[in-house]
Amino acid sequence: MQEIGSFILDQLLKMQWLSDLVASMLACFGIDPQSSWGGTLHFFIYDTIKIVILLVTMIFVISYIQSYFPPERSRRILSRFRGIQGNAVGALLGTVTPFCSCSSIPLFIGFTRAGLPLGVTFSFLISSPMVDLGSLVLITSAFGPGVAVLYTVFGLVVAIAGGALIQRLGMDDQVMDFVRGESVDAEEDMRRTPRERALYAAGETASTFRKVFPYILVGVGIGSLVHNWIPQEVIEPVLGDGNPFAVILATVAGAPIYADVFGVIPIAESLLAKGAALGTVLSFMMSVTVLSIPSLIMLARVVKPKLLGVFVGICLIGIVACGYAFNVLQPIL
């Protein structure tokens, strides 16, 4: 059983076969994969192809599943739950939605217009970019299944607790008036054939791929440079265990960056290989995916400054807490 698990992790998720293939191809052209330039090329080609394969596969699967949960059906499901149960269901529903926070905001608006509790919609908004199924697979391929499971658990805890706190603070008056209109989501036909669902999933895959591929190239490019050109002695004092403020620094540094998990993981992998602490790089990832400046600008158009500030504060505290927790647990992971 252990051999099967190792095979799945190494050959299917980490794609060791692909790494060996790229190394052999570079050697055929007289390029040493162990040199700085050869290592940069190897990292860039291998990680780009690996991420694209995982990206296309997971988007198709998730989009196919998502075809069973159009906005109106999701609203009906969420409306059955109240209190902490509603927050939990909202957070779980966020795991089968698009990857970036900007694409989650229109659904957040639709759910709010439909009259769902504000805390439930915010649990969804926090969870959606942070702990989707695609990120779970990619984090498994990069850091192993133990880290991926804990990352998902911590992300869901932040989403549930954040939504519950916003609900308890009674901030319903902090949503812009136009959001409170009637829901504009029409009920979609749930009797699609498997072929129609597959065509829908293929369309979503193509659309999402076009949006995120440039960020993948940028992320892998930065990751390859960090991995092969920045010495460990430069990164470790700043982002390693020796700096007690490393998690906070990484969280703040990640916020201005707009990317999704597929673009930021190569950077996180390289930082970890150079001596950055596990919790520090995961906090950086969470901050990039949840608190990107473009998504906050979009959110500022539908909620008032007080609620936006509370949302950012909850996310910052939750992400920092997760980072320190991972750093404590790193020796046993």
3-state secondary structure the chain: CHHHHHHHHHHHHCCHHHHHHHHHHHHHCCCCCCCHHHHHHHHHHHHHHHHHHHHHHHHHHHHHHHCCCCHHHHHHHHHCCCHHHHHHHHHHHHHHCCCCHHHHHHHHHHHHHCCCCHHHHHHHHHHHHHCCHHHHHHHHHHHCHHHHHHHHHHHHHHHHHHHHHHHHCCCHHHECHHHHCCCCCCCCCCCCCHHHHHHHHHHHHHHHHHHHHHHHHHHHHHHHHHHHHCCHHHHHHHHCCCCCCHHHHHHHHHCCCCCCHHHHHHHHHHHHHCCCCHHHHHHHHHHHHHCCHHHHHHHHCCECHHHHHHHHHHHHHHHHHHHHHHHHHHHHC
User: Exposure of 191 by Cβ count < 10 A (0-12 exposed, 13-18 middle, 19+ buried)?
Assistant: exposed
Task: Determine the Cα–Cα distance for residues 155 and 163; give it in Å rounded to an integer.
Answer: 12
Residue at 207 is within a domain = no
Residue at 202 is within a domain = no
| Vertex 55: Cα angle to 150 and 127 (nearest 5) | 40
Residue at 80 is within a domain = yes
Domain of 18? 2-185+212-332
Q: Rounded mean pLDDT of the chain? A: 81
Q: Is the pLDDT of residue 323 over 90?
A: yes
Residue corresponding to tokens 């969870």: 127
Tally of domains in the chain: 1
Q: Which residue(s) pair with 303 in the sheet?
A: 175
- Average pLDDT value for residue range 245-263: 79
Q: Which residue(s) pair with 175 in the sheet?
A: 303
Question: Of 33 and 235, which is predicted with more confidence?
Answer: 33
Residue at 205 is within a domain = no
pLDDT band at 292 (very low <50, low <70, confident <90, very high): confident
Task: Determine the Cα–Cα distance for residues 330 and 333; give it in Å rounded to an integer.
Answer: 5
**pLDDT recorded at residue 175:** 83
Residue at 126 is within a domain = yes
**pLDDT recorded at residue 186:** 44
* Per-residue pLDDT reduced to its tens digit, 106-119: 667 767 766 778 88
- Average pLDDT value for residue range 127-145: 80
- Average pLDDT value for residue range 256-281: 81
Question: Of 76 and 197, which is predicted with more confidence?
Answer: 197
Residue at 191 is within a domain = no
Q: Is the pLDDT of residue 99 over 60?
A: no
What is the C-alpha end-to-end distance of the chain, expressed in Å? 20
Q: Are 326 and 144 in contact (CB under 8 A)?
A: no
Question: Can you give the pTM of this predicted structure?
Answer: 0.75
Length of the chain equals 333
**pLDDT recorded at residue 259:** 63
Question: What is the token pair recorded at 2?
Answer: 């252990």
- Average pLDDT value for residue range 115-131: 84
- Average pLDDT value for residue range 235-257: 83
User: Exposure of 7 by Cβ count < 10 A (0-12 exposed, 13-18 middle, 19+ buried)?
Assistant: exposed
Q: Is the pLDDT of residue 101 over 60?
A: no
**pLDDT recorded at residue 331:** 87
- Average pLDDT value for residue range 311-315: 92
* Per-residue pLDDT reduced to its tens digit, 159-210: 999 999 999 998 888 887 766 555 444 444 557 788 888 998 898 888 878 8
Task: Determine the Cα–Cα distance for residues 209 and 203; give it in Å rounded to an integer.
Answer: 10
